[in-house]
Chains A and B, each alone.
Chain A
């Protein structure tokens, strides 16, 4: 009976993780491209739509909504990317190290999500727009 319960719990967790992976896939497909373009291509190259905008707007750190947007986009993409990568590596001949790869993958996801939440929280609460204007 205990064995059945354990298997049920393990299967439930397995399904949950694959569910989050799937949601991360949607996030990476629909939200990540625009974030990459605006923050790391349009801003440094001075392209539309940020050519005449201030840095404050570019990094999306102006409201609770934008902070949530960055957390969902980067967090979801990180989970999806690492989860898929850790599932692919054992198929490329690293089957023996699959437990280690899994553990390292989950550690990267956990540390990444905590760091992301921490920095976004810091930016949201301690944001001083005047500091931006000093370098523009």
Chain B
């Protein structure tokens, strides 16, 4: 049930993000700044991040169950392997995005 609940937070965050874009597009940058610095927005974002990461872990676990990988006579046994590998991939992708759009 919590997995289904994650979709609620993901949807609301996406709608809030579109609202933030509308503030930027209208040229009202101080409103954008006030909105993102609002403690309620920050608090919701932290909760949304938690549920998004929960979604990621359950999604990776599902991948491990659906797509069992065979390596010679051996095959992946538990979704834990899929979760570990994909979490590593998630970290690499996150750093690549940070590097590409901010640090570079």
Residue pair B17, A33 in contact (C-beta under 8 Å): no
Asked if A37 meets B101 with Cβ closer than 8 Å, knowing A29-B90, A74-B17, A119-B21, the reply is: no
Does the CB pair B10–A40 fall under 8 Å? no
Using Cβ atoms and an 8 Å threshold, which residues of chain B touch A26? 59
Q: Is the interface of B mostly helix, strand, loop or mixed?
A: helix
Q: In the complex, what residues of B have CB within 8 A of residue A81's CB?
A: 7-12, 14
Contact B59 A29 (CB under 8 A): yes
**Contact residues of A between 105 and 136, Cβ < 8 Å to B:** 108, 112, 115-116, 118-120, 122-123, 126, 128, 131-132, 134-135
A contact residues around B30 at 8 Å (CB): 135
**A33 to B60 alpha-carbon distance, docked (Å):** 14
Alpha-carbon separation in the docked complex, A25 to B11 (Å):
12
Please encode chain A, from 39 to 75, with 1 for each CB lying within 8 Å of some chain B CB and 0 for all others: 1110111000110010101111110011001100010
Q: Is there a chain A Cβ closer than 8 Å to B84's Cβ?
A: no
Distance in Å: Cβ of A132 to nearest Cβ of chain B: 6
- Docked Cα-Cα span, A28 to B10, in Å, equals 8
With beta carbons under 8 angstroms apart, the residue of A84, A88, A112, A131 that contacts B14 is A112
Quick check: A77 and B94 within 8 Å, CB to CB?
no
Within 8 A of A (CB), among B43-60: 45-46, 48-49, 52-53, 55-56, 59-60
Query: What 11 new A-B contacts, CB under 8 Å, besides A33-B49, A80-B7, A88-B7?
Result: A26-B59, A28-B56, A29-B86, A30-B56, A32-B13, A34-B94, A40-B42, A78-B18, A119-B21, A128-B27, A131-B29
The interface of chain A, by Cβ under 8 A from chain B, is 25-26, 28-41, 43-45, 49-50, 53, 55, 57-62, 65-66, 69-70, 74, 77-78, 80-85, 88, 108, 112, 115-116, 118-120, 122-123, 126, 128, 131-132, 134-135
Which 9 residue pairs across A and B have the least CB separation, nearest first?
A81-B11, A40-B45, A81-B10, A84-B7, A78-B14, A29-B56, A119-B21, A34-B94, A122-B25
